[in-house]
Structure 1
Amino acid sequence: MDKLKGRHTPLRRALWVVSLYLLAGWIWITFSDYLAEQWFPDPEALSRVQTYKGILFVLATALVLFLALMRQLGSDRTMLSLHHHQREEIRNLNQFRESVIERANVWINVLDPMGRVVLWNKAAEEISGYRRDEVLGSDEIWPWLYPDDDERARIRARAEEILRDEGEVVGYETRIITRDGSRRLISWNSRSLRNDDGEIVGSIAIGQDITDIREAETTIRQRERQLSTLMDNLPGMAYRCRYDEHWTMLFVSSGCRELTGYEPDDLVNNKRVSFAELISDDGEESNLRTVESAIGNAEPYSLEYAIVRKDGQCIWVWERGRAVEDNGDLVLEGIILDISDRKALEVELSELATRDPLTGLFNRREMARLLDEEIVRAKRYGRALSLLWIDFDHFKHINDDYGHAAGDSVLKATSGLLADSVRSVDVIGRFGGEEFVILLPEMNRSEASETAERLRGLISDTPQPLGDGRTVPLTISIGVSVFPDNGADASALCAAADKAMYQAKSNGRNQVVLAPLVEQAHNS
């Protein structure tokens, strides 16, 4: 009926205009003719007046028609422009729907106040598996997506709150069942829609499929737990630090407690102490050079150095790491292990390789090496070097009379007495049996002779313990040789000192004999 009424409105308006025009024409003709006859009784004058009156009527009606047509044409032009604008708006809206809504990679749907679907974009079809023609104008989608009654009731209640404009949702997660039976996790943002009059006409919901994101997050959390478990069970401390003067820690594993005595948080960002403060001064410069070289060659680095724990204990650690780039910054990553036991073993093995097991003095091999070093140093700087060759007098009698255990006790006590009676720069060692050698750097012939006499007198005046509470007197014979007077190499010096020692024994023992100079040897 409204359409018929709208269709008849122009006809009625046209009839009204024609009727008004006829009425005006009739009134004009009737009254104008009557007035003309009254005012112009002369027929000739009346005829001219009638002519002019007709022309005036035509001009007046033409003017009215012109104005009416101008107004109508203007109105039509406005309507045409509005119609064109509306068509452009519709086209733009269709383009918007096509480019934004239809091509969006997120689920977009619109519900009417009854909860029925009125818009269902391409992404909604792809994610849910349900076509647009299956869901438009219907609310059947609810049990399809949420077959569980309780869950569906809860979600529909939330949707109805939005339709009543009782709030909106942001990041509201639901798990749907797709057409193929798979489960997908959707994050929703939804709010109510109003028309120009402010009336609620439905709601719009935008959903993002976050199934893969949540699965990735779960995988990452699992890997983080695995990594944390691995870090916590490492036999040392894993770290990540800045390449700066403080070795500023960005991360340390829980092994930090056992290694350093500090809590991990104490070292991170130098909160309580920097790792550089734990490194002994002897190792810091060497570490820096090694790390710099490794970074320059794009290689991993290995370090061994000592650190001081929180309790003051000094331990040795081994570090293995490499430089990596992190957001444009250079950081170091690696692991640090406690190698104190290994270091102690190395020291012990080194001692066994260089020390006499009975007396703790340097053995023959180490003494030969040290003698070669001292000769090189003496040659380089033009300094003197003396060598004492010592042999115990009648030591065989002690072993025979008191036993080898007593002899070992005498050797240990005598060697300790000799070691305590020389300078810190002097070197004493056992060459084998009851023979001992002492190196005296920067000591000339007369000074070496005085030192030898002092040591001889000390041993002669000091009874040596047998290990069972008894003591026994002991004397020594000493041969002295001097570099370079008695030889330019180790073998010559040792031979000269050994020969002088045997000369002391031939002379009656308990005395010091200096190896003769080359000129004296020829004269004798």
Structure 2
Amino acid sequence: MEKIKGRHTPLRRSLWIVGTYLLVGWLWITFSDYLAQRWFPDPETLSRVQTYKGALFVLVTALVLFLSLLRQFISDRTLLSLNVHQQEEIRELNQFRESVIERANVWINVLDSKGRVVLWNKAAEDISGYPREEVMDSDDIWQWLYPDEEDRARIRERADEILRDEGEVVGYETWITTRDGHERQLSWNSRSLRNNAGEIAGSIAIGQDITDIRNAENTLRWRERQLSTIMDNLPGMAYRCRYDEFWTMLSVSNGCLELTGYEPDELVNNSLVSYAELIDEAGNETILRTVESAIGNAEPFSIEYSITRKDGRKIWVWERGRGVEGEGELVLEGIVLDISDRKELEEELSELATRDSLTGVLNRREMTRILEEEIARAKRYDRELALLWIDFDHFKAINDDHGHAAGDSVLKAASGLLAESVRSVDSVGRFGGEEFVILLPEMDRREALETAERLRRLVCDTPQPLGHGNTVTMTISIGVSVFPDHGEGADALCAAADRAMYQAKADGRNQVVLAPLTEEAHNP
């Protein structure tokens, strides 16, 4: 009825205007003629007045018509401009819907006040698998997306709260079942919509498919837990630290406590102590040079050094790491292992490699190496060097009379007595059997003979244990050679001292004999 009434309004207005014009024209003609006849009785004057009156009427009516048409044209132009503007807005709105709503990569749907779908964008179709024509003006989508009755009732209740304008949701996560039976996880933002009258007309919901994001987060958490488990069970301490003078730890594994005695949070960011403080000064310098070289060559580094634990105990560690870029700065990542047991074993093996297994003094190979080094040093600084060649007298009789175990006991005790009776810079070694060598750096012939005689008397005056509480008196014969008087090489000095020792035995044993001078020594 309103539309019919609206269509007839221009006709009524036109009839009203025409009627008004006819009435005004009739009144003008009637009253103007009456007045003209009364005011101008002269026929000729009356004729001119009626002519002027008619022209005036035409001018007035033309002016009124002009103003009416002008007003109408202005109104029409305004309406036309408004119509063009509205069409432009409609076009822009359609473009907005096409570019923003339809092409949005997020799910957008609008529900009416009864929960029926009135807008379903392309992303909603792609994610759910349900095309627009199947869901529009229907609420069947609730059952399709949420086949579980309890789940559907809970989510529908939340949607009804929004339709009742009882709040809005932000980041509300649900699982939907797509048309092909797969499950997707979405995060929703939703609120109610109102019409021009301020009444609730429905609701709008924007959903983001977060299935892949949540899967990635779960995978990342799983990997972090796995990495944490691996790190916590690693021998030693995994770390990430700054490349600075304090080796400031940014993170350390739980192995920090077992390795250093410090809790991780006591070491991180130098909270209680910096890692550099655990390392001795020389070790820090060595580490710095090693790390600098590795970073310069873009390669990992490995280094061994000692640290002092919280309980004051020193341990040896092995560190393997490399420099990496992290958050705009160069940091180091790696692992530190306790190698104290290995170091102790290495020292034991080194000791075994250089020591005689029976007596504990230096073996022949190590003694020869030291002799050559001392000869080279003596030559460089023009110093003298003495060598004592010692042999136990009648040692074979001890083995024959008391057994080899007793002989070994005598050798151990006697060699220990010799080692204890010389200077710390002197070296004592066993060359084989019952033959021993003592190296005396920076000692001339007179001092060497005095030392040899003192040692001879000491062995002679000290009973040597045979084992089981029994002892035996031993004597030794000693040959003495001196560098450079008796030779300038290790072989020459050893040979000279050996010959002097045999000369002592030939002269009756239990005595010291100085090797004869070489021709060069006789004729300097």
Normalising by structure 2, what TM-score? 0.94
Mean Cα deviation higher: 62-71 or 387-396:
387-396
Measure how far apart 1:28 and its partner are.
1.5
User: What letter corresponds to residue 50 of structure 1 in structure 2?
Assistant: Q
Partners in 2 of 1:416 and 1:195 — Cα distance?
Answer: 109
- Report whether the alignment pairs 1:17 with 2:17: yes
Partners in 2 of 1:164 and 1:448 — Cα distance?
Answer: 113
Deviations 1:358-382 (A, max 9, x none): 2111011110011111112222222
Measure how far apart 1:282 and its partner are.
4.4
Measure how far apart 1:185 and its partner are.
0.9
In structure 1, stretches of 5+ residues that fail to align are: none
Partners in 2 of 1:48 and 1:447 — Cα distance?
Answer: 172
Mean Cα deviation higher: 486-495 or 63-72:
63-72
In structure 2, stretches of 5+ residues that fail to align are: none
2:301 paired residue number: 301
- Report whether the alignment pairs 1:443 with 2:435: no
Measure how far apart 1:414 and its partner are.
2.1
- Report whether the alignment pairs 1:254 with 2:257: no
Measure how far apart 1:198 and its partner are.
2.7
Which secondary structure state, in structure 1, belongs to the residue aligned with residue 407 of structure 2? helix
1:233 paired residue number: 233
Which secondary structure state, in structure 1, belongs to the residue aligned with residue 467 of structure 2? coil
Which secondary structure state, in structure 1, belongs to the residue aligned with residue 64 of structure 2? helix
Conservation of the 8 A alpha-carbon contact between 2:108 and 2:121? yes
- Report whether the alignment pairs 1:96 with 2:96: yes
- Structure 1 runs of 4+ aligned residues shifted over 6 Å read 520-523
User: What letter corresponds to residue 217 of structure 2 in structure 1?
Assistant: E
Which secondary structure state, in structure 2, belongs to the residue aligned with residue 35 of structure 1? helix
Deviations 1:452-494 (A, max 9, x none): 2332333333333333334333333222212122111100011
Mean Cα deviation higher: 83-92 or 394-403:
394-403
User: What letter corresponds to residue 263 of structure 1 in structure 2?
Assistant: E
How do 1:119-198 residues align onto structure 2 when only pairs under 5 Å count? 119-198=119-198
1:352 paired residue number: 352
User: What letter corresponds to residue 105 of structure 2 in structure 1?
Assistant: N
2:200 paired residue number: 200
Measure how far apart 1:516 and its partner are.
2.6
User: What letter corresponds to residue 46 of structure 1 in structure 2?
Assistant: L
Measure how far apart 1:435 and its partner are.
1.8
Measure how far apart 1:269 and its partner are.
2.5
Deviations 1:324-365 (A, max 9, x none): 333443333333333222222222222121101121110111
Partners in 2 of 1:283 and 1:401 — Cα distance?
Answer: 56
Measure how far apart 1:398 and its partner are.
3.4
C-alpha RMSD over aligned residues: 2.1
User: What letter corresponds to residue 509 of structure 1 in structure 2?
Assistant: R
1:419 paired residue number: 419
Distance 1:374 1:521, change over 3 A: closer
2:465 paired residue number: 465
Partners in 1 of 2:272 and 2:476 — Cα distance?
Answer: 61
Partners in 1 of 2:178 and 2:517 — Cα distance?
Answer: 109
Conservation of the 8 A alpha-carbon contact between 2:485 and 2:521? no
Distance 1:521 1:381, change over 3 A: closer
Measure how far apart 1:520 and its partner are.
8.8
Deviations 1:361-407 (A, max 9, x none): 10111100111111122222222222122222333343344433333
User: What letter corresponds to residue 459 of structure 2 in structure 1?
Assistant: I
Measure how far apart 1:522 and its partner are.
6.7
How do 1:442-521 residues align onto structure 2 when only pairs under 5 Å count? 442-519=442-519
Distance 1:327 1:455, change over 3 A: same
Mean Cα deviation higher: 205-214 or 435-444:
435-444
User: What letter corresponds to residue 131 of structure 2 in structure 1?
Assistant: R
Normalising by structure 1, what TM-score? 0.94
Equivalenced residue count is 523
